[in-house]
Amino acid sequence: MKINPRQLEKMARKMGIQSAQIDAEEVIIKTPEGEIVIHNPSVAKVNMMGQETFQISGDVEEREKSGFSDDDVEMVADKAGVSQEDARRALQRFGGIAEAIMGLKEEGR
């Protein structure tokens, strides 16, 4: 059974449901274990009887909490000449900024 999108929207309004698309480039959800990053998201804000919710879909990437800041990752990436993702992995593997830089440079030889 096909439902006409206009009819569906009209029924939702009658029930007090309002939705709006949000133009987003990236959605980040921070958890105690790390982050859930949604790239190329489609985000809808739904208001139902005064309660706002968000519906999000897109390309999901989960990142574990590393204990290193974005500045640490950027420094390692810059000094070792690698991507930020490689720098983040090196920081987790080697346990420190200097160790990660040295380890990446040795691997590149």
Q: What is the pLDDT of residues 64-95, one digit of tens each?
A: 776 888 899 999 999 999 999 899 889 988 98
Q: Are residues 36 and 59 in the same domain?
A: yes
What global pTM score does this model have?
Answer: 0.54
d(CA 60, CA 71): 23
- How many domains, the chain? 2
Reduce the DSSP state of residue 25 to 3 states and report it.
coil
pLDDT at position 44: 92
pLDDT at position 34: 84
- List pLDDT tens digits, range 11-42: 888 888 888 899 999 999 998 888 899 999 99
Q: Which residue has the tokens 């000449």?
A: 81
Q: Are residues 10 and 60 in the same domain?
A: yes
Task: Output the domain CATH number for residue 60.
Answer: 2.20.70.30
Q: Are residues 27 and 53 in the same domain?
A: yes
